Amino acid sequence: MNFLQSLADRERVFDFLAPAASPVDVRHGPILYLEDVSVSFDGFKAIDALNLTIDDGELRCIIGPNGAGKTTMMDIITGKTRPDAGSAWFGSRHDLLTMNEPEIASLGIGRKFQKPTVFEALTVFENLELAMAADKRILPTLTARLTGEVCERIEEVLATIGLIELRQAPAGILSHGQKQWLEIGMLLMQRPRLLLVDEPVAGMTEQEMERTAELLTGLAGKGKQSVVVVEHDMGFVRSIARTVTVLHQGSVLAEGSMERVASDPKVVEVYLGVEGEVA
C-alpha cells in the first residue's frame, strides 16, 4: 500500500482529527453519563439497561468476561452502534445519541483499539504531526507547514509517552508496547477530554506494562483527561485501579475499589472458570 492510499484510509478511520466543536460542560455533572442503555443484535441483548457515570479527570477500569458488553459499550459511546433505548451524554450539553462518529470524536472522545495502527514507514515525530488537530484532507495534510506551536505540542506529547529519544525513528522499528504508546500519543495530539483504551497491555512485556500503567495513571492524574480502560489482565488492573466497574450480560454487576469487587460473591461466581483470577 502506498503512502497516499494509507493516508486516505487513515483519514476515513480518524475523521475525528479536528478541533473540538464546543467546550464540554461538566459544571453540573459527570463528563460521561449512560442511563438505561440497551441494544440487541438478532435477539441477543448485548447491553441491558446499562448505567454508567464517569467523572471529569477520572481513571475507570472496566472488566468482565467475554461477551459482557465491554466493546459494545464503547461502540455506543463513540457512535459506532446505536442503542435501542436509553440515553448517553457527554457533559451536560452533548447528546451522543444524536451525533455520528466524527461529530462525537470532535467533541474530545478518543478511542484506542487493542491493535496499534500507526504509519510504520514514517517517523514517530511525523506520526504525531499527522495526528495534529487540523484539516485532514490529503492535499492540506501534504502541504501543511510546521509551526512553533505544533512542534512544542509534539515535544510535549513525546515526553508524555516516553519516546523523545525515538522521535526520528521509523514507527515500524518500535516494539509492540512503543507502538501502543505512539498511538495513545496520536490521540493526545487532539487534547481529548475522554480516552477509551481497549486492552492496552495485551502482548506487552512486564516492563512495558509498568510503563503503560505509569502513562495512563499520569494522564488521569493531570486532570486533563478522563480515562476508561477495558482490560482482562487483572494484575495490570490492580496496578492502576481507582474505581472498577464489572460488566456481566450487558449491565453493571458490581462497582467500587478492586478489593471490593474482588470480594463480591457475584463477581467471584462470574469469573470462576472464566478469567481464573479475581481475588
Reported as a single tens digit per residue, the pLDDT across 141-184 is 554 566 788 899 999 999 999 999 999 999 999 999 999 999 99
- H or E element at residue 72: helix 70-77
d(CA 45, CA 39): 6
Name the residue type at position 149: E
Write out pLDDT tens, residues 118-135.
999 999 999 999 888 554
- pLDDT band at residue 71 under the 50/70/90 scheme: very high
| Residue percentage of the chain with pLDDT more than 70 | 82
What pLDDT score does 12 carry?
41
More confident residue, 137 or 163: 163
3-271 carries CATH number 3.90.280.10: no
* Chain centre to alpha carbon of residue 68: 18
- Residue 2 confidence (pLDDT): 46
Quickly count: other Cβ atoms within 10 Å of residue 178's Cβ: 22
pLDDT one-digit tens code per residue, 202-258: 999 999 999 999 999 999 877 678 999 999 999 999 999 999 999 999 999 999 999
Q: Give the pLDDT of residue 16.
A: 40
Query: Residue 190 and residue 224: Cα distance in Å, rounded?
Result: 12
Q: Is 69 in contact with 249 (CB distance < 8 Å)?
A: yes
pTM (predicted TM-score): 0.85
Task: Kindly state the helix (H) or strand (E) to which residue 255 belongs, with its residue range.
Answer: strand 251-256
> Residue 149: its pLDDT value, please?
84
Beta strands in 55-153 (DSSP E): 59-63, 85-90, 94-95, 109-112
Task: Name the residue with cell 502482548.
Answer: 203
Predicted pLDDT at 224: 72
Q: What is the rounded distance in angstroms from the CA atom of residue 15 to the CA atom of residue 190?
A: 12
* pLDDT at residue 3 in the model: 46
3-class state of residue 207 by DSSP? helix
Strands (E), 16-129: 32-41, 44-54, 59-63, 85-90, 94-95, 109-112
The residue behind cell 467471584 is 268
Q: What is the pLDDT of residue 9?
A: 44
- How buried is 239 (Cβ within 10 angstroms: 0-12 exposed, 13-18 middle, 19+ buried)? middle
